[in-house]
Structure 1
Amino acid sequence: MRCTVFGTGYLGATHAACMAELGHEVMGVDVDPSKISKLEVGEVPFYEPGLQDMLQRNVDSGRLSFSTSYEEAVGFADLHFIAVGTPQRRGEYAADLTQLLSVVDRLAPLLTEPAVLVGKSTVPVGTAEMIAERARKLAPVGGALEIAWSPEFLREGFAVQDTLTPDRLVIGLASGLSGRAEDLLRKVYQKLIDEEVPIIITDLATAELSKSAANAFLATKISFINAISEICEPAGANVSDLANILGLDPRIGRSFLTSGLGFGGGCLPKDIRALMARAGELGASEALHSLREVDSINMRRRTKMVELARHACGGSVLGARLAVLGAAFKARSDDVRDSPALSVAGQLQLEGAAVSIFDPQAMDNARRVFPTLNYATNSFEACERADAVLVLTEWSEFKDLDPSELATTVRSRVVLDGRQCLEQARWEDAGWRYLAMGLPTINR
């Protein structure tokens, strides 16, 4: 089949490359010429494991192309995915739909033949209906334009895997239409359907809510164990052991129950806030009042990590040399949007610490956000003469560090495990003082 993907950021570029990998002819469309020029030669402008090789392979095969021309896109296909960003609106909780509306307003007037628009972006419930009404008014084809919503469920660092072998496919459709949208999407996803990936056909509102609700639940689970962590410390309990106990309950499960610095990135924080904002607009704000506490607990983790660093340095970080290992909001990504690691590093610098930071992939992005921090070329350089080492992103290379070897570089053998990703006994056996949130206060 032929299809287009409007938006070539993290979601759009991944979706376009994966659709080509499934055998379709795909055109990615973006208004940013510099981004398109990189993609045309097979260069991915961000880090995502496995994407670079796959994109290059499909560009070379001719199945995947890129353009800045909406007119060219309309002539290329009549199935159009929209995968633009929906960031948090400045100064508000609500989602900013500017990019989404811009695509619709430019694309719809060009549609003179029956076409299907498929939303991939995460949007507030009710957006699809609004888009459908807006697009049909603008499109010469009128009612022959169908709108569907098929939200993405990608994890940064595993986006290729999650697109090519998803755990479910969700397709939201408007009632009373010809059914062409469902037919086309079933053909696009046929290989996945043949591999028995569960497919759920539902209405537009349910499809929109499915992504928001999933992210809200994950955020709640993360903040729950972090709230319990705050009880463990004064009680003398161990949050890691407690999480293992809870995780053995099949009703709960162990995933997302690791206490630590909390979540960040471009999805969970803004998506739960957008859901709260939309609930208020619908007169159902009390239904999601708990999400305010989820958000509050998550942001509080950063403050607590700064407090732990102060404690490790004798009550103040003024004049201390601190190594921060990690800048991306999570491992296997170069995304520093709302990064807890960078937030903590910046706060420590404001309190007078000399902060040296290293991340395997996110250094360039981090420099753009916090240009005043010191950036090292590797972990050992970052830790040189450090009074404390903070591990704030759970990269494998940080987990695999040799604590005995690292001890020859630092000034004080103090490590703060912000992600509960290090082997505590291994570090303590090497003479390190190991600190982490959620451990008994008396052991610090």
Structure 2
Amino acid sequence: MNPTGSPRLTVIGTGYLGATHAICMAVLGFEVVGVDVDQSKIDKLSSGEVPFFEPGLPELLAKALESGRLRFTTSFQEAGAFGDVHFVCVGTPQQPGSDAADLTYVEAAVRGLAPYLDRRALVVGKSTVPVGTAKRLTGILHDLAPAGTDVELAWNPEFLREGFAVDDTMRPDRLVFGVASDWAEERLRAAFKPVLDLGTPVVRTDLATSELVKVAANSFLATKISYINAMAEVCEAVGADIKDLADSLALDDRIGGKFLKPGLGFGGGCLPKDIRAFAHRAEEIGVGQAVSFLRHVDDINRRRRARTVDLVREVLGGQISGKRIAAWGAAFKPNSDDIRDAPALDVARTMHGLGGHVRVYDPAALDNARRSFPELRYGESALDVARDADVVVLLTEWADFREIEPDALARVVQHKRIVDGRHALDATQWRAAGWEYRALGRS
């Protein structure tokens, strides 16, 4: 405990979640040590470089380092000696060849830290894990920590939105504390005091419920997205307009407009793998039927990618091979450089595989895309990749793309054809400028 009475914090794992949490907590006034086994991550963060794209975070990292309240290390021994509250923020990706979550990194983090916990401390999981994981990790902690049962485990799920992670960390809409004792809740409240002082609601619950909150939330959001995209399939079959349908539904306050936007569907490192892991875990514990609909949610989402390729083919008169295609977007969403399970790159790769001459541009994700998909060609700007294009395909709804004037684009393309995979453009404006405009679920 430092002299001010605030707990000293460690953050195990300095990827997207961990680095954001460590930086923001230091800016809020806590003494923080970030821990990672990847020396290159530690070196970058220590030198003031955020190793991923997130608006506002580089400036906060500089501020946190300058304050002297934040440092980074690869030493679990140093973390154990320093910290009162230890946040586990490592990744839980999908297992290769399975829908299950890979808990290798979570377990390794707990096993790496536990031998250095020789006094009363709280370990707090923030990673998204299958229900029942916390109970198992509690046993590992008690077995390996010199302090034994004086070390408690709590769960505090994260709800970060890429592109808005700073606000979501420092001004969250709620905090969920999964705890097994009043002491654990008190420690968590101390570790979030500046956030709680803003009036942030807290839900205190048990470990199992806190593990379920994140996957339940993501499953609901994924279902809402896939629902409106299922309606888009119906609209296409009968000649109806999905945008007008979605706008009408959004005016019902029981439904609301958030996550009710039709288009190419969801991707990224959370929603796809979380709903698959949730369905897998539910089957393991004998309640698979209760969430079997999530398999359909996943299927609908995947179909939108194939349907987007079909739409491009239709616009090109039935033939993609040999056509020059400008692909606007690589990240799974705007304000991010994350290309994990990105619908944009999936569509671009499929069109490339069908013989299309595809050129990709993204304001933030080009380096990641080049590393992962060197077979694709890339450009330096939206207009650069559109030069002499037979069709432009908008795949990630960056503001940069929405702000391009139809007439400016018309001066560089071969044919005035645009496929709006995200319903991001004003169809009336583009059609008035002489463009053939197409979007999923619209005639």
* TM-score computed with the length of structure 2 as normaliser: 0.98
Alignment partner, residue 21 of structure 1: 27
Q: State whether structure 2 residue 150 is matched by structure 1 residue 147.
A: no
Give the one of 95, 101, 124 matched to 1:89.
95
**C-alpha offsets along residues 180-215 of structure 1, whole Å, 9 cap, x if unaligned?**
221111012112222111111000011110000000
Does structure 1 residue 382 correspond to structure 2 residue 385?
A: yes
Letter matched to residue 433 of structure 1: E
2:296 aligns with one of 266, 285, 293: 293
Structure 1 residue 163 and structure 2 residue 169: aligned?
yes
Report the 3-state secondary structure (helix = DSSP H, G, I; strand = E; otherwise coil) of the residue aligned with 1:371. coil
- What whole-Å deviation, never above 9, does each CA across 1:346-378 have from its counterpart, x for those lacking one? 000000000000000000000111101110000
Residue of structure 2 in register with 1:356 after alignment: 359
1:40 positional shift: 0.3
Matched, 1:3 2:9: yes
User: Hey, what's the Cα distance between the residues in 2 that align with 1:165 and 1:79?
Assistant: 20
Residue of 197, 206, 210 corresponding to 1:207: 210
Structure 1 match to 2:106: 100
Equivalent-residue separation in structure 2 for 1:371 and 1:56 (angstroms): 33
- Confirm or deny that 1:264 pairs with 2:270: no
Amino acid at match of 1:368: R
SS where residue 253 of structure 1 aligns? Answer: coil
1:103 and 1:190 map into 2 onto residues whose CA distance is 25
User: Matches of 1:22 and 1:65 in 2, distance apart?
Assistant: 15
2:131 corresponds to which of 96, 111, 125: 125
Q: Is 1:410 aligned to residue 418 of structure 2?
A: no
CA distance in 2, matches of 1:141, 1:109: 9
Distance (Å, rounded) in 2 between the aligned partners of 1:64 and 1:139: 25
**Secondary structure of the structure 2 residue equivalent to 1:152:** coil
The Cα of 1:60 is off from its aligned counterpart by 1.2
How far apart, CA to CA, are the structure 1 residues paired with 2:119 and 2:33? 18
Following the alignment from structure 1 to structure 2, what is the Cα–Cα distance between the partners of residues 79 and 198?
A: 21
Structure 1: give runs of 5+ residues left out of the alignment.
Answer: none
Shift of 1:265: 0.3
How far did 1:64 drift? 1.0
Which segment drifts farther, 332-341 or 72-81? 72-81
Aligned-residue sequence identity (percent) comes to 55
**SS of 2:340's equivalent?**
coil
Match of 1:64 among 56, 65, 70: 70
SS of the aligned residue for 2:292 comes to: helix
Partner of 1:334 in structure 2? 337
Q: Does residue 225 of structure 1 match 2:224?
A: no
Q: d(CA) in 2 for partners of 1:180 and 1:210?
A: 22
SS of the equivalent of 1:167 reads coil
Query: 1:99 Cα shift?
Result: 0.3
Residue 191 (structure 1) aligns with: 194
Long gaps (5+) in structure 2 = 1-5
Count of aligned residue pairs for this structure pair: 437
- Post-superposition CA distance 1:70-116 (Å, at most 9, x none): 11111111210000000001100000000000011111111111111
Pick the aligned partner of 2:286 from 270, 283, 287. Answer: 283
Across the aligned residues of Structure 1 and Structure 2, the Cα RMSD in angstroms comes to: 0.7
The reply to whether residue 36 of structure 1 matches residue 42 of structure 2 is yes
Partner Cα separation in structure 2 for residue 142 and residue 182 of structure 1: 19
Counterpart position of 1:434: 437
Preserved contact between residue 85 and residue 191 of structure 2 (Cα < 8 Å): no
Query: Do structure 1's residue 76 and structure 2's residue 79 form an aligned pair?
Result: no
TM-score computed with the length of structure 1 as normaliser:
0.98
CA–CA distance in 1 between the matches of 2:285 and 2:237?
A: 41
In structure 1, distance between residues paired with 2:256 and 2:183? 39
In structure 2, what is the Cα distance between the partners aligned to 1:435 and 1:173?
51
Residue pairs, 1:236-247, within 5 angstroms: 236-247=239-250
Task: Pick one of 312, 321, 324 that aligns with 2:327.
Answer: 324
- The answer on 1:110 being equivalent to 2:110 is no
